[in-house]
Structure 1
């Protein structure tokens, strides 16, 4: 499929797809005419990237998940590297929650 079709089916802009390609997250295949060509499996890669980014992961964080899918796994979190990224992200979120709870308690004590 061409870039416009993939963009439409994935719900992203062609600019985003070119950026993912530039970052090495999406394969850059070219047809004889020079147009980008994508496979059905690339739709799954883009969906994985979008889900991760919307959950607070960076594009660099998404790399192990994409590599896991490219290796033929059913999900992007089936590999040790992607699980490590998820665990790290959870630890970051937990730290943010602790910081927010501390701030909340400080403000609450000022109201009393």
Structure 2
């Protein structure tokens, strides 16, 4: 699919998709027509974009994602300790989840307190 369709289906801008491609997060191939410079993206790019969004929502940076994906795809990872990298990201995400759950409990308590308070009119 071309970038316009990928943008429409993913809900992301063309600029964002180009940025992700420059970072090595998604890939495209030259289109079949030799008369233009269009690029084609595989259907799997949509799955990758969902994973990127999930990773970002969990607090992972584009730089970390690019480094991880680049190292995982490299034939010689140059001493990259993928397990240690992932362990550190897991600890970070678990800490964010813990903080988010604690905050969610606070919101629920505040809502319950508001519901229990008589309203003045």
Q: TM above 0.5, one fold?
A: yes
Please classify the TM superposition score into its range, dividing by the shorter chain length: 0.5 to 0.7
TM-score (norm 2): 0.56
Q: What are the ranges of 5 or more consecutive residues in structure 2 without an aligned counterpart?
A: 74-81, 100-121
Aligned-residue offset at 1:24: 1.3
Aligned-residue offset at 1:20: 0.3
Specify the alignment match of 1:7 in structure 2: 7
Specify the alignment match of 1:22 in structure 2: 22
Q: If you compute each CA radius of gyration, which structure gives the higher value, 1 or 2?
A: 2
**Cα deviations by residue, 1:54-105 (Å, 9 ceiling, x for unpaired):** 222101222336876x7xxxxxxxx8477335324237648xx5xxxxxxxx
Across the aligned residues of Structure 1 and Structure 2, the Cα RMSD in angstroms comes to: 3.1
TM-score (norm 1): 0.60
Quick one: distance in 2 between partners of 1:10 and 1:67?
Answer: 25
Question: Is the CA contact (8 Å cut-off) linking 1:10 and 1:43 kept in structure 2?
Answer: yes
Specify the alignment match of 1:39 in structure 2: 42
Question: Is the CA contact (8 Å cut-off) linking 2:24 and 2:69 kept in structure 1?
Answer: no
Question: Is the CA contact (8 Å cut-off) linking 1:7 and 1:17 kept in structure 2?
Answer: yes
Q: What are the ranges of 5 or more consecutive residues in structure 1 without an aligned counterpart?
A: 71-78, 98-112
Aligned pair count reads 87
Question: Is the CA contact (8 Å cut-off) linking 2:26 and 2:45 kept in structure 1?
Answer: yes
